[in-house]
Amino acid sequence: MSLDQRARVLEVVVSASCGVRDVIRRLRWKASRVVGLLEWMCDEGLVELCVVSGSGRGRPKKNIVCTRLGFEFLEAYRRLKAKPLRARKADLERAVRDALYVERLEAAGHSPFRLLLELNEVVHNISESSESSAAV
């Protein structure tokens, strides 16, 4: 389940006291999607389902209550949404060049990950040898 979906559910829950059907109606999502997401969010500790007493016949109505962790999640989500990703054109061009380089490596039959590990080992050996020569 995405962070956006969790945040949308929390927005609805925080705006007014509501049950599962109210959330389904306000979000206009399928019931199975909302119920699954609410169960997931209960397991994560973002919301709690509280049974309403005296709800009449049938299955007891459950109100969805946002927990303290849910409020913190929603606050952090809003702060991050207010800070859009800032990338310069040069950053995006470099990312494209790097992706093309990886494609060329793979086309030549090389594993970029394995090459990175080899490079890491070379750097480690250089660092280790310079430390040992400095100690002498």
Cβ neighbors of 45 (< 8 A, separation 6 or more) are: 67, 69, 70
> pTM of the predicted model, to two decimals?
0.58
User: Which candidate, 15, 4, 6, 19, places its Cα nearest to that of 58?
Assistant: 19
User: For domain 3-82, which architecture applies?
Assistant: Orthogonal Bundle (1.10)
Cβ neighbors of 63 (< 8 A, separation 6 or more) are: 17, 18, 19, 49, 50, 52
* pLDDT in the model for residue 16: 85
Domain-wise residue ranges, the chain: 3-82, 89-135
pLDDT, one tens digit for every residue, the chain (136 residues): 688 999 999 999 998 888 888 999 999 999 999 999 999 999 999 999 888 776 567 777 888 999 999 999 999 999 988 887 788 899 999 999 999 999 999 999 999 999 999 999 999 999 888 887 776 6
Residue in this structure with the two tokens 């952090």, named with its chain if needed: 76
CB 60 within 8 A of CB 51: yes
